[in-house]
Amino acid sequence: MDDTTSAATQLVRRLKMGDNPHIQVGVVEFNDTARTRTPLTNIQSRVIGGINGIAANGGTAIDRGIDQGVRVLAAGRDNAGEGPIEEFMIVLSDGENNRGCSPVSASANRAKGQGIVLASVCVGPECDHQCMRRVATTPALFYEAEHSDQLDGVFQRIRRDIVKPTQLRRLRIEEELDSAVRYVPDSSSPAPVDRGEADATLAWERRSPPEEGITVTYAVEVLVPGFRPASLTSRARIWDSEQRQAEHALPVPFLLALEPRHLATVTPPPTATPIPTPTSPPPPTATVAPTATAVPSATPVIVRVPIYLPFLAHEACDPLRQRADIVLVLDTSSSMAGAKLEDAKTAAIGFVSLLDLEPGRDRVAVVRFDGTAQLIQRLTRDREAIEAGLRSVGARSGTHIDTGLAYALDELTGARGASANVPVAVLLTDGIHNGAPGADLETAERVRDADIALYVIGLGTDVDEGALVAMAGGTDRYVHAPDSSHLARIYRDMARDLECP
């Protein structure tokens, strides 16, 4: 089963759903029955979470799996908008259908009658190869794998055969400059293809832009000191290989320009002129004709004047990252009893107070773990319910970090986690995992593979920082708190990071 979920996960990643908004994927599992793990979505983490939740169990009802897949695709048609839809279904099995091949053929034919293209994958020697060949829309869409470790290669072939990722055909960037700045002629790289009157608007175009995008640079002269946007509007227009158009707003940089100040020069006061004393007149001497005296040249005065250059900063928040589904995963082992746990509750409640729990914004869930784990509060925007859940937790024996993370993973990838919000898990622990060896690292990897941002806080001196850094996926998302008095600040900083990373 691990080979299957790993290969399916890699297939989803290769679809690059973030770059191809028209691609949606659903997940159905079947054994004696069939059920939807993930409805059609363009959110990669939801799909991967659905795949990772599949477990081997029971018999083989291929026909029911196909029927359930048809229902998932039918539900997606209601939200597809205008334009043609290409629907594909990949059916994978390693055994014979419980009720024989006739129900499988009937279900496959009903799906094909709706215009759905079916690809079938037969794994191992016990698979009913003849029946699965009937499932495929064409013989070329029937695939075999002698062993499950070959599935990654099979899925790569399927992607090449049936999926046509959208390609950008044309990109146009347009900027309308603020009246307080002036474009410096010939400073742009590449040169703009269009320039408005007095260079108030600029535009650049690129046919078949590369996947990594393009970079445009240009210089402006600041006419009015102050802090202001460099442009009034900045947008990108795209045209793709499906003849569709879209427009995206781009972050607007800000300029900070200060007015120059001239340094005053200090003129020294005149020195006193001595009064001459009378002398006896000298005897007359021969007069010598005077020689010409050179006129002294002016002495330059150097005045150092500070020059204030504009400061350019991209400091716009990503609107998507401002909406998050956050699961607080709290260690409630016996070592947390007393002040540490009370400080942790208070800090977590302070963290929640900084979030935007208005309709359509952030949601929070609470999980506690010790020798077991429990979902105290499901994802909600009810601030009182969240705070009550946090206050209710108490200390018990054991530190099974893996079970706490597993509950967070299920909540963020399950039906309640199916939203446009960014999934986040915040783990707090003061000890060392004492469950199954390696289970904590394995579960943390599953969380990260589901595109969940995993933040880890290690509290005190008894933590295994190497393991906690590995769980977080690096030092960027790991924080060490020497004692519980530091937790309020750490949670506060983390809330700001989630709002504007």
Among 39-43, 133-137, 355-359, 491-495, name the one with the lowest average pLDDT.
Answer: 491-495
Q: What is the mean pLDDT of residues 424-438?
A: 89
In which band, very low, low, confident or very high, does the pLDDT at 368 lie, cut at 50, 70 and 90? very high
Same topology for domains 2-162 and 320-499, yes or no?
A: yes
Question: What pLDDT sits at residue 81?
Answer: 57
- Average pLDDT of every residue of the chain: 80
Determine the distance from the C-alpha atom of residue 252 to the mean position of all C-alpha atoms in its chain, rounded to a whole number. 20
Evaluate if residue 21 carries a pLDDT over 90. Answer: no
Question: What pLDDT sits at residue 225?
Answer: 78
3-state secondary structure of 94: coil
CA dist., res. 7 & res. 14, Å (int): 11
CA dist., res. 14 & res. 32, Å (int): 31
Q: What is the mean pLDDT of residues 372-395?
A: 92
Tokens encoding 323: 């909406």
Name the range with the highest mean pLDDT among 16-20, 414-418, 419-423, 448-452. Answer: 448-452
Evaluate if residue 361 carries a pLDDT over 80. Answer: yes
Q: Is the Cβ–Cβ distance between 238 and 168 less than 8 Å?
A: yes
Determine the distance from the C-alpha atom of residue 497 to the mean position of all C-alpha atoms in its chain, rounded to a whole number. 12
CA dist., res. 358 & res. 381, Å (int): 7
Higher-confidence residue: 260 or 103? Answer: 103
CA dist., res. 456 & res. 460, Å (int): 13
Q: Which CATH architecture fits 320-499? A: 3-Layer(aba) Sandwich (3.40)
**Can you spell out the DSSP letters for 14-41?**
HT-TTT-TT--EEEEEESSSEEEEEEEE
Question: What pLDDT sits at residue 85?
Answer: 73
Chain segment 337-355, per-residue pLDDT in tens: 888 899 899 989 988 988 8
Fold exhibited by the domain 2-162? Rossmann fold (3.40.50)
Evaluate if residue 403 carries a pLDDT over 50. Answer: yes
CA dist., res. 241 & res. 227, Å (int): 41
Evaluate if residue 310 carries a pLDDT over 80. Answer: no
**DSSP secondary-structure letter at 333?**
B
| Domains of the chain by residue range | 2-162, 168-257, 320-499
Sheet with 226-229: list strands edge to edge.
226-229, 254-257, 311-313
Written in H, E and C, the secondary structure of 158-212 is HHHHHCCCCCEEEEEEEEEECCCEEECCCCCECCCCEECHHHCEEEEEEECCCCC
Tell me how long the chain is: 501
Question: What pLDDT sits at residue 295?
Answer: 43
Residue corresponding to tokens 């307080």: 180
Among 159-168, 246-255, 422-431, name the one with the lowest average pLDDT.
Answer: 159-168
Beta strands in 250-371 (DSSP E): 254-257, 311-313, 324-331, 363-369
Among 217-221, 242-246, 352-356, name the one with the lowest average pLDDT.
Answer: 242-246
Chain segment 113-156, per-residue pLDDT in tens: 888 899 999 988 888 888 999 999 888 888 888 888 888 888 88
**DSSP secondary-structure letter at 477?**
G
pTM for the model stands at: 0.41
Name the range with the highest mean pLDDT among 35-44, 141-150, 367-376. Answer: 367-376
- For 27, 67, 104, 179, 325, the CA distances from 63, given in Å and listed in that order, are 15, 6, 4, 66, 36
**DSSP secondary-structure letter at 54?**
-
